[in-house]
Amino acid sequence: EDQVTQSPEALRLQEGESSSLNCSYTVSGLRGLFWYRQDPGKGPEFLFTLYSAGEEKEKERLKATLTKKESFLHITAPKPEDSATYLCAVRIQGAQKLVFGQGTRLTINP
Amino acid sequence: DARVTQTPRHKVTEMGQEVTMRCQPILGHNTVFWYRQTMMQGLELLAYFRNRAPLDDSGMPKDRFSAEMPDATLATLKIQPSEPRDSAVYFCASGFRSRDSPLHFGNGTRLTVT
């Protein structure tokens, strides 16, 4: 069964304190791994897509990386506005749907 | 910025009542998805459509849920009769049929069944 597991469930950091979120996956054939950000009361907002091991994508203070078993979302010198739930999802071969992990709730204290 | 539009944003209803949620996908997108989000289960896929045809509705309780796309600009999700366990946030998302296409989500309908 295709499975996506995110850790930790929640993470609290001080402003400027860099860290990483983990997304491990077990799928029959990966067509893409997606990172989303979700703010309270809003729908998930697309951040990145990664397709193959070794690939990296960057956007402002965020960098996503991919291996054959997991993906990391690195947050460098975060600010309070980076506080959100970060969701990881996989698209498997032969399907268009995304299978989501449970998310990591990130809080950045000023 | 084009967005997926969902109505209503909030719905409170009594057990046994019919609930209809509506979604306007982004113009030109040919795949539409319905997801349900709860604290316990996270985001679960209920159903999805390509070019208005249902492709997979295995995530939906068939006896009470139904999803349709009457035209390319409207997708509906109905629950009849509603039950308290249906309380959740229901999201619609749309995209293109390609591996490069992410899904774009609306802001959801928060459903409370009492």
- The model's pLDDT over B6-63, given as tens digits with 9 standing for 90+, comes to 999 999 999 999 999 999 999 999 899 999 999 999 999 999 998 888 888 888 988 9
Give residue A92's pLDDT: 84
Look at residue B60 and give its three-state secondary structure: coil
Separation in Å, CA of A81 to nearest CA in chain B: 19
Identify the band that residue B99 occupies on the pLDDT scale cut at 50, 70 and 90.
low
Best mutation target, B103, B107, B109, to test chain A (most A CBs within 10 A)? B103
The alpha carbon of residue B29 and the mean position of all alpha carbons in its chain are separated, in whole angstroms, by 15
Q: Is A45 on the interface with B (CB under 8 A)?
A: yes
Separation in Å, CA of A46 to nearest CA in chain B: 7
**Closest by alpha carbon to B102, among A65, A31, A55, A68?**
A31
Q: Is B62 on the interface with A (CB under 8 A)?
A: no
Give residue A1's pLDDT: 78
Give residue A95's pLDDT: 78
Tell me the per-residue pLDDT of A42-76, one tens digit each, with 9 for 90 and over: 999 999 999 999 999 999 999 999 999 999 999 99
